[in-house]
């Protein structure tokens, strides 16, 4: 049989369709993508997609810088114009944007929610881990529709963990993140839906990427979480326009009904914690131990403050 092997140069020329990179004298990387042009987004994408997991970095590392970078490169005026167009024949969205409701809730606001309620479920998580609500919804300004929608989406994030049946482990983060993909692409025009989910893409797709690279047993679990989130979003109503804080006293099932959140199947939290621990190289167990230490630290501080006040 004749030799049909091909040299590398021929293969490369064929695959690149004859394209050759232009030789440009420039001190900085310049492209047609505002995302590629931003060094912070390049660093985030490369690091978060290619690294392994471990206990040396917290799972939320770098998110504040990511948020700043995205808000600087996204065209906020363009998003605001699309919101103005969408609200014209959508009374619920019109009221949502007009009111710009923010509860800026703290853990203490959930403390008296009855056991079994939505608010109590989030309180238990925060109390166990020694957390309080200090996310971007508390720290960043609200000056336009774009900023408000992003802040409000963050403010309800931990409620969405419970409402979507996700719990609070590493892999299950895909469910409350991807519920927005299913929902926003259902209710908004494609370009606005795209703009409103860019942050979720930067936040969670790296989980998918590095699981594919380093943790083959975890890839189907991450994929499952993403799919669960999208399907819940597709089946649900406009939960993102509602005041979830009005339903904190209800049972989780009652709150889901009131908010029209559909297609939820509560996870086996222990099993998904186990899965997350494998993919995080022991990071879920490490998080649990840190929670115990943090809770004890706060308890000691409270006792010292009580003694000092006596």
Q: pTM for the full model?
A: 0.87
Closest Cα to residue 198, out of 186, 209, 208, 190?
Answer: 190
Question: CA 221 to CA 226: how far, in whole Å?
Answer: 9
Lowest-pLDDT range of 28-32, 102-106, 158-162: 28-32
Question: CA 177 to CA 180: how far, in whole Å?
Answer: 6
Is 47 exposed, middle or buried (CB count within 10 Å of its CB: 0-12, 13-18, 19+)?
Answer: middle
Question: CA 298 to CA 199: how far, in whole Å?
Answer: 32
Share of the chain above pLDDT 70, in %: 95
Higher pLDDT, 29 or 150: 150
pLDDT at 157: 94
Residue pLDDT, tens place only, 224-279: 999 999 999 999 999 999 999 999 999 999 999 999 999 999 999 999 999 999 99
Residue pLDDT, tens place only, 15-29: 777 777 776 667 677
Beta-strand ranges (E) seen in 124-272 are: none
- The Cα-based distances of 230 to 135, 146, 158, 212 in angstroms read 24, 22, 17, 20
pLDDT at 94: 98
SS3 per-residue string spanning 196-231: HHHHHHHHHHHHHHHHHHHCCCCHHHHHHHHHHHHH
User: Tokens representing 35?
Assistant: 């995302």
């Amino acid at each position: 049989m004749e030799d049909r092997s091909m040299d590398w140069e021929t293969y490369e020329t064929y695959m690149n369709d004859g394209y050759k990179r232009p030789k440009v004298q420039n001190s900085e990387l310049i492209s047609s993508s505002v995302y590629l042009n931003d060094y912070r987004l390049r660093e985030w994408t490369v690091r978060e997609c290619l690294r392994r997991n471990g206990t040396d970095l917290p799972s939320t590392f770098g998110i504040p810088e990511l948020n700043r970078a995205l808000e600087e490169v996204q065209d906020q005026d363009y998003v605001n114009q699309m919101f103005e167009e969408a609200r014209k024949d959508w009374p619920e969205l019109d009221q949502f944007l007009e009111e710009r409701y923010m509860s800026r809730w703290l853990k203490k606001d959930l403390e008296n929610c009855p056991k079994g309620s939505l608010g109590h479920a989030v309180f238990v998580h925060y109390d166990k881990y020694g957390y309080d609500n200090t996310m971007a919804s508390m720290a960043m300004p609200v000056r336009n529709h774009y900023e408000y929608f992003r802040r409000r989406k963050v403010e309800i994030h931990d409620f969405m963990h419970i409402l979507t049946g996700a719990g609070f482990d590493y892999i299950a983060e895909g469910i409350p993140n991807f519920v927005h993909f299913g929902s926003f692409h259902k209710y908004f025009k494609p370009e606005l839906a795209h703009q409103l989910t860019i942050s979720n893409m930067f936040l969670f797709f790296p989980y998918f990427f590095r699981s594919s690279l380093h943790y083959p047993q975890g890839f189907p679990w991450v994929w499952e979480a993403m799919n669960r989130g999208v399907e819940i979003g597709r089946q649900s109503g406009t939960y993102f326009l509602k005041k979830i804080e009005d339903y904190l006293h209800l049972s989780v099932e009652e709150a889901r009904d009131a908010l029209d959140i559909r297609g939820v199947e509560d996870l086996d939290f222990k099993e998904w914690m186990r899965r997350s621990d494998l993919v995080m190289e022991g990071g879920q167990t490490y998080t649990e131990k840190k929670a115990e230490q943090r809770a004890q630290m706060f308890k000691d501080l409270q006792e010292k403050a009580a003694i000092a006040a006596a």
